[in-house]
Amino acid sequence: MTALGAVFRPQLPPERLRDIARLADDSALEELWLWEDCFSEGGISTAAAALAWTERVKVGVGLLPVPLRNVAITAMEVASLHRMFPGRAVVGVGHGVQDWMGQVGARVESPVTLLREHLVALRALLRGERVSTEGRYVRLDDVGLDWPPATPVPVLAGATGPRTLRLTGEAADGTILTASTTADGVRRARQLIDEGREAALRSGATLAESHRVVVYLLTATGPDAARRLHAELADEGLQDAPDLGVAGDAGAVAKAVQRLAEAGADAVILQPTGDEPDPEGFVRFAAEEVRPLVP
């Protein structure tokens, strides 16, 4: 079954999160996703709060920018979430928006190298290993978690370009794709991820049986849905890109979700427009109207 979720966008103030998280938890949605966008809301703090306010729904963070975070801190926080809320936290890491990384003095010369080093060290720490490494960016001297997760923790990574997609197949347990990804883009991403997995296996690495692909779907519903969708795509410079996003009723949205699922997405996360007038209503729409139409 294709997992269905919704995004709590950082255009909303953090004090709105509790009501939306509880609504998602009471509904048929499997996942609620949060973003650590600069300079809005912290990913781990909001995820911890959302998990504490809920009982069932999975809470995803997509994603934590690795230039901002020492890998030991990332491991400590992810491990704490998984020990307090077993099986309900889904955490992804990634390059971050390079302009934002430059604003805070954290931009690196080789984002792919940093992400690779971070993923390798993070996954080892979360497995309970003691790690010593002297990489280009990640340096650890006999570091181990006092409280590693009690069960294996999948680590996802965000990716867009071919090099990073191959890297996620090689060094992550899953991949997060942005809302600028069409169904054909999901198919291409799957191919590149599989190339990375094959390279990892040839090198003797041990990989999980499956690699989870999560994709955001820009979604608008209601009387002015088409206008809001077009305006957001235009703001991103994507107004001429075909087959991006969906505007319409539950049937139209469910068909768009199904196209992404058939292309290889394991989870489709509905991303409201930044000016969504009724965020709570959007969650209810996703859970009550779209979810029953998605296999």
pLDDT greater than 90 at residue 28: no
Helix axes 162-171 and 111-126, enclosed angle (nearest 10) = 20
pLDDT tier at 137 (50, 70, 90 boundaries)?
very high
| Residues β-bridged to residue 65 | 94
pLDDT in tens, 168-220: 999 999 999 999 999 999 999 999 999 999 999 988 887 878 999 999 999 99
Q: How many domains does one find in the chain?
A: 1
Dump the DSSP string for 167-196: HHHHH-SEEEE-TT--HHHHHHHHHHHHHH
- Judge contact between 272 and 220, C-beta under 8 A: yes
CB distance 222 to 182 below 8 Å: no
Q: Is 145 helix (H, G, I), strand (E, B) or coil?
A: coil
pLDDT at position 11: 94
What separation in angstroms does the CA of 47 have from each of 32, 77, 282, 283? Answer: 9, 11, 20, 17
Q: What are phi and psi of 182, to 5 degrees?
A: -85, 175
CATH number at residue 279: 3.20.20.30
Chain segment 148-172, per-residue pLDDT in tens: 999 999 999 999 999 999 999 999 9
Q: Do residues 21 and 57 make contact, with C-beta atoms less than 8 angstroms apart?
A: yes
At 148 the pLDDT is 98
| Residues 6 or more apart in contact with residue 142 via CB below 8 angstroms | 130, 131, 132
pLDDT tens track for 227-240: 999 999 999 999 88
Q: Which domain holds residue 267?
A: 3-293
Nearest C-alpha neighbor of 274 from the set 98, 62, 35, 49? 35
Question: According to the model, what pLDDT value does residue 203 have?
Answer: 85
- How far is 70 from 51, CA to CA, in rounded Å? 23
How do residues 59-113 score in pLDDT, each as one tens digit?
A: 999 999 999 999 999 999 999 999 999 999 999 999 999 999 999 999 999 999 9
**What is the chain's mean pLDDT, rounded?**
96
What's the one-letter identity of residue 23?
A: L
